[in-house]
Chain A
Amino acid sequence: MKHTEAVLKELEELSPRLAQIKRAETPIEPPASYFSELQRDVLWQIRQEQQTAARPAATPAPANGFAWLDFLRRPRHALAFATFAALLVAAIWVLSPRTGSLDNGTDSALATLTEEEALAYIEANVQDFDLDLLAQFADLDLLDATAAAGWSDEEWNDILESLLDETDIQTLEELF
C-alpha cells in the first residue's frame, strides 16, 4: 500500500527539509487497547441498529381501544367511576322488573343495600370490575376519556348522574 521511496524522492526535490522531517516521523499512538475497544464499540452499534430495524413499529391503538381506561389509574377517577357503578347497581334494582336471575336471598339482600354500603363495596373492589364490559360501555360514546382527564370531583358527580339518567335499563343490565 505504501510507496515510501517514491514519496521521499518526490519530497527531496520539492522540499529537502520536509523529506528530512518525514524520515524522523513517528506514528501517532492512540490510547492503549484503543483498537480492541473500537471493534467492540463498532460491533455494538451495528447490533443495536439491527435490533432496532428488526423491532416491529409500534401499532397505534384502535379508535375504540382500552386506552381511555388509563384515567382509572388515578384514584380520584377510579373512586368516581365506582360511585357511578354503585348508582347503576341501585338503579337496576329499583327500576327493573324482577327477572329471577338471582336467587331470592341475593335479591332481598340487594334490596336492603344502602347507597353507602354499595359505595364502600365498590370502592374496596374496584379492581374486580370487568374491563371488557367497561370498554363495551365506552363504545356507547357516553364518556369522553380525553376530556375526563381534567374533570374535578364535582364535575365527575354531575356527569355520572346525567349518564345514569340517560342510560336505559337494558344497557345497565348488560353492564352488571
Chain B
Amino acid sequence: MRDPVTLERGLKLLMDRYQAPLYQHLRRMVTDHDDANDLLQNCFIKAYRNIGQFEGKAKLYTWLYRIASNEAITFLNNRKRRAVDSIDENNLLGNSLKADTLMDGELLQVQLQQAMETLPQKQKLVFTLRYYDELPYEEMSKVLHTSVGALKASYHHAVKKIEHFFNNS
C-alpha cells in the first residue's frame, strides 16, 4: 500500500465514495462553498498522508468524518477569532443561500440554516452529524470522542433551540 500509484488509486476510490457526503457535511458546517472546498481538499490530503495510521478499528467513513469535523471546527474557531462580528457571521449563511424568490420549502431550509448558526460549534456539529448525515450515535461517538449519552443530550438541546428559533421568527 506504500506504492504512490496504489495510494493514488486508493484515494480516488475513497473520494468517489465519500466526497459527496463529506461535502454536504462541511457545507452545512461552514455554509460557504469555497470554504467547504478548501476543507474537503485538506481532509482528503490528510487522509492520504495518514492512511498508514488508519488501524481499521473504526469504519473508514467514521475516520473520514472525524478528519472533516476537526477541519470544520478548526476553521470555525479561526473564523471566530478573526473577529468577524456576530451579526456578519450569523448572516453569512443567509447571504449565501438566500435567493430573490424562495419556495416555501427553500425558505424553511434557509431558516433552518440560520437557526443552526445560533448553536455553539460543537452542538452544531452534533446536530449536523445526526440530522443531515444521519449517523448512528455509536458512530458519532467515535467521530467526536464523546459518550453516546452526552451526544443524545446535545442533539436534543440543539433541536429544542432550533424549535425555539422557529417559534420566535
Interface positions of A (Cβ within 8 A of B): 1-4, 6-7, 11, 14-15, 17-18, 21-22, 24-28, 30-31, 34-35, 38-39, 41-43, 45-46, 49-50
Contacts and interface: CB of A to CB of B under 8 A. Distances in A.
B28 A28 contact: yes
Contacts of A14: 156, 159-160, 163
Interface stretch (B66-74, B84-92, B104-112, B143-151): B104-112
B162 interface: yes
A1 B112 CA distance: 23
Given A21-B109, A38-B40, A49-B45, 13 more contacts: A1-B61, A3-B134, A3-B135, A3-B136, A6-B136, A7-B134, A31-B33, A38-B41, A39-B15, A42-B41, A42-B48, A43-B12, A46-B11
Interface residues of B, number: 37
Contact of A50 (B4, B19, B131): B4
Given A14-B160, A39-B12, A43-B8, A28 B40 contact: no
Contact of A28 (B19, B24, B45, B112): B24
A42 B44 contact: yes
A46 B51 CA distance: 13
Interface string B121-138: 000000000111111100
Contacts of B8: 43, 46
Contacts of B44: 42
Contact of A24 (B108, B131, B160, B166): B108
Contacts of A3: 134-136
Interface string B35-54: 00100110011001000000
B27 interface: yes
A4 B11 contact: no
A99 B149 CA distance: 101
A-B CB proximity, top 8 nearest: A2-B134, A24-B105, A14-B159, A15-B163, A7-B134, A42-B44, A28-B27, A21-B108
Nearest to B163: A15
B23 interface: yes
Contacts of B160: 14-15
Contacts of A45: 41, 45
25 contacts: A1-B61, A1-B134, A3-B136, A4-B134, A6-B136, A14-B156, A14-B160, A14-B163, A15-B160, A15-B163, A18-B112, A21-B109, A21-B112, A22-B131, A25-B109, A30-B33, A31-B33, A35-B23, A39-B15, A39-B19, A42-B11, A42-B44, A46-B45, A46-B48, A50-B4
Contacts of A6: 134, 136
Contacts of A50: 4
